[in-house]
Amino acid sequence: MKIFLDAGHGGKDSGAVGFGLKEKDLTLTIVKKIGKLLADYEGVEVLYSRTDDRFLELSERAAFANKANADFCQSIHINATPSGTGFESFVHTSASAKSIAYQNEIHPEIMRAIGDVQDRGKKNANYAMVRQPNMPSILTESLFIDNPNDNKLLQQDSFLDKVAQGHVNGYVKAFGLKKKASVQPQTQPVVTTKNGWKKENDKWYFYQNGNKKTGWLMDKGSWYYLDGYGEMLTGWQFLKGKWYYLNPNGDMRIGWLRVNDKWYYLNEDGSMGTGEITVKGKKYILRANGSLIVTTPDGVVIE
């Protein structure tokens, strides 16, 4: 079973925005969570339109799915309009019987997973990502980024976990997916409680009394961030409406940072600075994306 996951927008196309959040970041986070969950199921191959912040034309995304001969295409989006709220799903106006059948299975499972959220219904539209793929396709819109109440939920990593789980629950029901059998050892090994940092499958986790820690972690004077699965994150991360930079070893960066020939400033709490700031008595101006504006003595911008 080949499942093609499309994270809406990306790169220069931020998608909808609201209260510090960008649709392109949320869709990518949800898609990655779905992919991780699907790794636990037999015979599932997960394909992605993007796994990082890059721009792709809609036609390119559909072409990827078609070239890979995917069995199902899922496009993930976040809605926008201040008066709107809730969840809705779409198939094409001339959708195949399979697309409609899958929507009927997947939509209610997502609603069950995300809880007390308005159900805006199962709909159809002439959207490119349900029109151009050759296989059954569904597009989901999970809440409204510019609605204050919806936005508060979208800022919670635990809520994005529910969105991802709801999608996977729907796939299990629609496609009859089966979890991989766990191999039981013939003899019971000596059980030791894990504590501290552990590297597993080239990823770092932090255990406390045998349980993986998630969220922000202070260890030996440095801050780290562990996602909903306990995995230590690195690089630029958008967390609860703010950008942070986590060094290659995982600890949170503070102060000046140079990335791709651009300077950025990370505040004392680790969040990326913007606008006019004062550092050691000197004033600097940072763009909305955090990069430093460099000027000549007469004020001409050169970087």
* pLDDT score recorded for residue 120: 98
Residue 120 CA to residue 66 CA, distance in Å, equals: 30
**8 A C-beta contact, residue 290 and residue 284:** no
* pLDDT score recorded for residue 301: 53
Nearest C-alpha neighbor of 56 from the set 21, 93, 92, 6: 6
Report residue 4 as tokens: 């093609």
Does the structure show a pLDDT above 70 at 245?
Answer: yes
Mean of pLDDT values over 157-178 = 97
**8 A C-beta contact, residue 228 and residue 214:** yes
- Model pLDDT for residues 80-99, shown as the tens digit of each residue: 997 899 999 999 999 999 99
Average confidence score pLDDT of the chain:
93
* pLDDT score recorded for residue 266: 94
Residue with tokens 């801050």: 223
Concatenated DSSP letters for 22-91?
EHHHHHHHHHHHHHHHHTTBTT-EEEES-SSS----HHHHHHHHHHTT-SEEEEEEEE--TT--SEEEEE
* pLDDT score recorded for residue 186: 60
**8 A C-beta contact, residue 166 and residue 37:** no
Residue 106 CA to residue 236 CA, distance in Å, equals: 32
- Model pLDDT for residues 9-52, shown as the tens digit of each residue: 999 999 999 999 999 999 999 999 999 999 999 999 999 999 99
* pLDDT score recorded for residue 246: 94
**8 A C-beta contact, residue 273 and residue 267:** yes
- Residues involved in catalysis: 141
- Model pLDDT for residues 114-163, shown as the tens digit of each residue: 999 999 999 999 999 999 999 999 999 999 999 999 999 999 999 999 99
Helix (H, G, I), strand (E, B) or coil at 223: strand
Residue 98 CA to residue 14 CA, distance in Å, equals: 31
Q: Which residue has the higher pLDDT, 193 or 189?
A: 193
* pLDDT score recorded for residue 298: 57
Distances (CA, A) of 102 to 63, 129, 181: 21, 16, 25
What band does 214 get if pLDDT is binned at 50, 70 and 90? very high
What band does 194 get if pLDDT is binned at 50, 70 and 90? confident
Distances (CA, A) of 303 to 74, 207, 262, 277, 292: 40, 44, 8, 17, 8
**8 A C-beta contact, residue 294 and residue 301:** yes
Mean of pLDDT values over 217-224 = 91
* pLDDT score recorded for residue 184: 59
State what percent of residues in the chain have pLDDT above 90. Answer: 85
Helix (H, G, I), strand (E, B) or coil at 113: helix
